[in-house]
Amino acid sequence: MYSYLFFAQSFYSPICMRHHMKIDKKLILAGVLITLMVAAGSNQIFLKSSSVAGQQQKSTNNNATINIRPNVQTDFNPNVTWPKISKTAYVDPFGVIIGDCEIGKLVLVAPFAVCRGDEGTPIYIGDYSNLQDGVILHSLETTTHGKNIDDRRYSAQGQLLKGNDTAFKTGFAIYVGSKVSLAHDVMVHGPAYIGNDTFVGMKSLIFDAKLGKRDAIGVSSTITNGVNIADDKFVPPGSIITTQAQADKLPARVGSSYEKLNGFVLHVNQELAKGYNAQTIQKLATEIEDEIEEVGEIQSGSPTGSLNATANSNITQVGTK
C-alpha cells in the first residue's frame, strides 16, 4: 500500500507546493485506486499472485511469516516453491497456504483451512471450489532422494501414475477439480483425486482414494485403501469405504438427499469470495484516504491540511508541548 501512496505523494505534492494549492485528496485517492484495480486485474488485491507472493513479509513475531509462504527444502522435496493463487481467490488471514499449492479462480479458503504443500506435491485446487473452515490438504511424499515413488501422483484426468511414467512429472499428489466443495473439517490426504462438481461432507476423510465427478459424500465418511468411486455416486453419511466392492455398490447421487446440495454450497461460497474481496478493497481505500490526510497535514504543518499555516507556528506548537 505504501508504495502506491509514495507514488501519489511524490507526484502530486511538489506540484501542489509550487502553486500553493491544497492537495486534492479525492483526486489522489481515485488515481491510486484505479492503479490498484488495473494492477490486480480483479477485485482481489491483498492476496498474492505467484509473482507478488515472492515478496515474503514478516509478522510481529520475528520468527513467524505471513500465512502464505514457501515450503522448506528437504531430501524428499528439493524445490522451494511459493503458492500460486488466483487474483480472484480469497484466502482468509487465518487460512494457511504453504509451498506447492495452486489455488484457482474464485476459490474461497475459509478460516483455519490449510493447504500444506511441503511434503507430497504438488497440490491443485480447481476454479470455483471451496475449502471451508478446518479443511486440511496434505500428502505423502512423492519423491525421495530424487527418485519418484509409484502410485503417489494422479494425472489431471485421474490416472494413478507410476514413477517411471513420463506424466509423473506433471502429476499431482492431490488434485481437486473445479466446482468442488470441501465442507468443514474435511481432510484430504494424498495420494487423492476428487473430480469436478463433487461435494465432500463435514468431517469426512479422503486418503489414498479417487472420487469421480458429481459425487456426493455424506458427513463423517471415510474413503481409503485405494478405492475408486465412480461418477454420480452417493456415499451415505457415516460410511466407511475401504474395498472396491463396497464402492461399486454405492447408490446414485440423483434421487438422494444430497442430489442438489453442491449447487447451493458453490453459490454461497463464490458469493462470499466476491464479498470478502470487495470488503478488502473498501478497507484499503479507507486506509489510503487516511494516509493522504496525514500527508497533507505533515506537508502543511497544520492539523487541517491548510498550506497557509506558517512553519513558525508549527515550531511554536511543538516547542510548547
Active-site amino acid positions: 119, 141
The per-residue DSSP string of 159-203 comes to -EE-TT-GGGGG-BSEEE-TT-EE-TT-EEEEEEEE-TT-EE-TT
d(CA 295, CA 299): 6
Cell digits of residue 123: 497440490
Numbers of helices and strands, H then E, in the chain: 5, 24
Long-range Cβ contacts of 105-109 (<8 Å, 24+ apart): 106/270, 106/273, 106/274, 107/131, 107/273, 108/132, 108/269, 108/270, 108/272, 108/273, 108/276
Q: Report the interhelical angle of 25-40 vs 2-18 (nearest 10°).
A: 150
Q: At which residue does the C-alpha cell 465412480 appear? A: 230
Which residues are CB-contacts of 136 (< 8 A; sequence separation ≥ 6)?
113, 114, 116, 186, 187, 188, 189
Amino acid at 228: N
User: Across-strand partners of 159?
Assistant: none
